[in-house]
Structure 1
Amino acid sequence: MALAFLRSALRVGVDAILPPRCGGCGDITDTTHAVCSDCWAGLRFITAPHCACCGYPFELDTAETGIETRDATLCGPCHQKPPAFDRARSALVYDDHSRDYLLRFKHADRTDLTPLLARWMFQAGQDMWDGADLILPVPLHRRRLLTRRYNQSGLLAQKLSRHTGIVWDGLVLRRDRYTRSLGGLGPSSRKREVGGAFNIDEARAHRLGLAGANIVLVDDVLTTGATANACVRILKRAGAMQVNLITVARVVR
């Protein structure tokens, strides 16, 4: 009882000095790691109906937009050429509003946005957590990690591990080859750029029980899927049974 009172008093004191602020505009809010009503209205959260595989949102009823299979509704691209990952889910549509959050998170040292973004991802990936054995972030090459000082996907993976109780690891999947920024590249160029860039630490994989594992791969944005697919192929080659992908946002064309 005394400890609870002390924590409550400490929280009130901290809020008085450093009041919680909106993760979007910076205005003072009632709770920590939240957004104000105006910023909330600008965010486009992805909800059903969407592709059962890649999570692409359907604007119309699935009967009009998707292709019915015996198990679920797929978008056209997933029906024609399924991705390497088993499922993908994203919290937000990647647009001007969500892009602002992600740019600040990745390039402006706004690591304080981690709890907010991870909570949205946790909710978006509700159908992924049951049965998952391991959470892995898409890795950065050491050269980029040196300049950025943190892997944004690693921060999200760590927070998602706390939400779910699932073990996370940031070292078993490696980015051994430096790649240029994929921004502005088309699907084919992206695929060529990341081809052969990733590898597995086999000794660590053995300790983690990677063979036969159900893995959730964490990244910030899903664009063409080139990076995620390259990671998934390496993980499945190392024995992973299932690899699902969760991102903060995804491009919708």
Structure 2
Amino acid sequence: MLQSALRLIYPPRCVACGEPVESDHALCARCWGELDFVTGLVCDACGVPLPGEDTGDPVWCDDCLAGPRPWSRGRAALLYRGRARGLVLAFKHGDRTDLARAAAGWMLRAGRPILGSGMLVAPVPLHRWRLLRRRYNQSALLSRGVAEGAGAEHCPDLLVRIRATRPQEGMSAEARAANQAGAMAVEPRHRGRVPGRTVLLIDDVMTSGATLGAAAGACLAAGAAEVRVLVLARVAKAE
């Protein structure tokens, strides 16, 4: 009764534009159509869309073939452009933490092929000074939702940044890798949770993969058997 009354007063709204929708944490039809969800054939390592038909066999993009990733498999929910870019920026810099639940659902759907039992789910960390300025780690909000939806163990502070890094916008792939090298480590009190496990790393955006590579390297150095990655949005080269 109370729930029905509240819905009359506060009907569900599209998480992107605010138009009325049928359920909470959902998109209206127009916004759904404006988001570039990643579907079909994708690179099994980084999740970028590929031409061709998905036959169920793993394939890899040219970048991942030329420079193998330190993680084994990866997926992305969206392409980082248009409406999706605006949502990610609002979530990351605009205090739109309410987007986390919907975004985690999109990620769970995209990540279904790489999810497995016994996984340890962890976010890419922010440096403490950046966390202080932003007040929340958007990747940790996503990782909590993914872990809950997958029924997996969640460790929001598995990784720590042991040095600050420069903002990476405009950097080349090589500069990004150098910027992130050695920047992360497994938090000492969690080292016993990693050996022999598959770690699923969560981040909001993958561009070159340098940040996720550094995080994956830290997990492998601590004894992880395998690292997989799942991101909300993937930057793809212009066609």
Bigger CA radius of gyration? 1
- 1:122 maps to 108
TM-score (norm 2): 0.94
C-alpha distance in 1, partners of 2:137/2:101? 15
Distance 2:65 2:177 in 1: 20
- 1:147 is matched by which residue type in structure 2? R
User: Which runs of structure 2 are paired with 1:59-208 in the superposition (5 Å)?
Assistant: 59-61=51-53, 72-206=58-192
Matched to 2:194, the amino acid is L
For the pair 1:227 / 2:217, whether they are aligned, the reply is no
The residue that corresponds to 1:243 in the other structure is: 227
Aligned length: 236
Query: 2:2 is matched with which residue: 5, 10, 24?
Result: 10
Cα deviation code 1:2-27 (max 9, x no counterpart):
xxxxxxx2321222222211111111
Q: Which runs of no fewer than 5 residues in structure 2 stay unpaired?
A: none
Cα displacement (A) at 1:182: 1.1
1:26 aligns with 2:18: yes
For residues 75-128 of structure 1, the C-alpha deviation after alignment (integer angstroms, 9 at most, x for no partner) is 222222211111110001110211111111111111111111000000000022
Q: 1:229 deviation in Å?
A: 0.3
Letter in 2 for 1:25: C
Change over 3 Å in CA distance of 1:43–1:21 after alignment to 2:
same
> Could you tell which deviates more after superposition, 51-60 or 175-184?
51-60
- How much does 1:186 deviate? 1.2
Moved over 2 A (4+): 59-63
Distance 1:62 1:121 in 2: 19
Residue 210 of structure 1: aligned partner: 194
Cα distance between partner residues in 2 of 1:121 and 1:199? 25
Equivalent residue number for residue 66 of structure 1: none
Identity rate of aligned residues, in percent? Answer: 38
C-alpha deviation, 1:132, in angstroms: 4.0
Select which of 36, 49, 62 maps to 1:57: 49
The one-character-per-residue Cα deviations of 1:46-86 (angstroms, maximum 9, x if unpaired) are 112112222221134479xxxxxxx6322222222211111
Q: Decide whether the 8 Å contact of 1:131 with 1:214 is kept in 2.
A: no
* Structure 1 residue identity aligned to 2:48: Y
What is the TM-score with the length of structure 1 in the denominator? 0.89
**Could you tell me which amino acid in structure 2 is paired with residue 143 of structure 1?**
W
CA offsets, 1:144-201, max 9 Å, x none? 1111110000011111121111111122210121112111111111111111211122
CA distance in 2, matches of 1:115, 1:48: 24
